[in-house]
Copies of this chain bind each other. A is one copy, B any other.
């Protein structure tokens, strides 16, 4: 079955398409979030690539997208196959437990016993066969009652990702590689990351969660009973004329909490969280250094250039240029530089400082320069 191209049994994909991607400012904006950009030079937005990756696993009619009202038109333009009933619009952001939990509650009501898999709209994955392999095992483990995540086999001591610490094999039928999760750990320093890599017991946390919808809701309820009650009330009304009124009343009051804290960590602590090691290439494309790295793979030039009609003149400079203006950009002797040129804002930094871009966004907010956010 592993090399089948048939959809996986009872499986439903959920794509939360929410985050702006502040560390990718000024490319990513409130009105042009990260998932609507082509960051790999493939010609596809990250959202569209995510759809194309998931469609063979669940079927096109079984992909639900949770996104903000402001992004509805852009999402539907990217995903013309997306069924109306599978668009869940947030009136305001309420974090991942509410977003994924609402999808789970709606789908469980429509189709009891459904298994959902939640995958970020703005990550990059290479290796379709390996991805399918991992998701298939995850679905099997989920069917056995586990909350399941897919951990990425580290290829370097990355300091930009969170890690999953494993605790031993689980011996699940049909999910031979499933391991028990000991705990989730935050982004490490370089020395710790090197220890993690050497130990072989740590995986990158890609934020992928696969579970029976009923089990996921059960775990949300165990940690956040009021939040679960709200989700069930929303789901009850969702496919009825009462949806709008209930959303207006209930959604804005839901607790904002990441699913990592509400579900993943407590469940791991009780030994009920499984991880499937993913053997595919994965990147969260979290900052411009990451984009530069993706573009350097398989190319010999040191300077990555993104943007249609980019005009770049560079000597020995290295790094990445993102050009959205068509202006002539001349670089002389700048190493590991990051240049992002947009009509109203220009960012210049280095790969080593790429993580700090979020601080610029925060500073711009504080200084009231919201016109460029």
Contact = CB atoms under 8 A, between A and B. Distances in A.
Interface residues of A, number: 35
A350 interface: yes
A369 B334 contact: no
Contact of A369 (B311, B332, B339): B311
Interface stretch (A40-48, A143-151, A204-212, A360-368): A360-368
Nearest to A345: B328
Contacts of A334: 337, 348-350, 353
A356 B333 CA distance: 9
Given A356-B332, A360-B332, A348 B345 contact: no
A341 interface: yes
A330 interface: yes
Contact of A346 (B328, B364, B367): B328
A193 to B, nearest CB: 21
Q: How many copies does the complex hold?
A: 2
A242 interface: no
Contacts of A347: 330, 332
A343 B329 CA distance: 11
Nearest to A331: B348
Interface string A314-353: 0100000000000111111110010101011111111011
A82 to B, nearest CB: 35
A313 interface: yes
Contact of A344 (B328, B339, B348): B328
A332 B345 contact: no
A306 to B, nearest CB: 15
A134 interface: no
Contact of A328 (B328, B333, B359, B369): B369
A55 interface: no
A225 to B, nearest CB: 43
Interface-central residue, A328, A339, A341, by most chain B CB under 10 Å: A328
Contacts of A367: 313
A313 B363 contact: yes
Given A332-B347, A332-B353, A339-B348, 11 more contacts: A313-B360, A328-B344, A328-B346, A329-B348, A330-B345, A330-B346, A330-B357, A331-B349, A332-B350, A333-B350, A348-B348
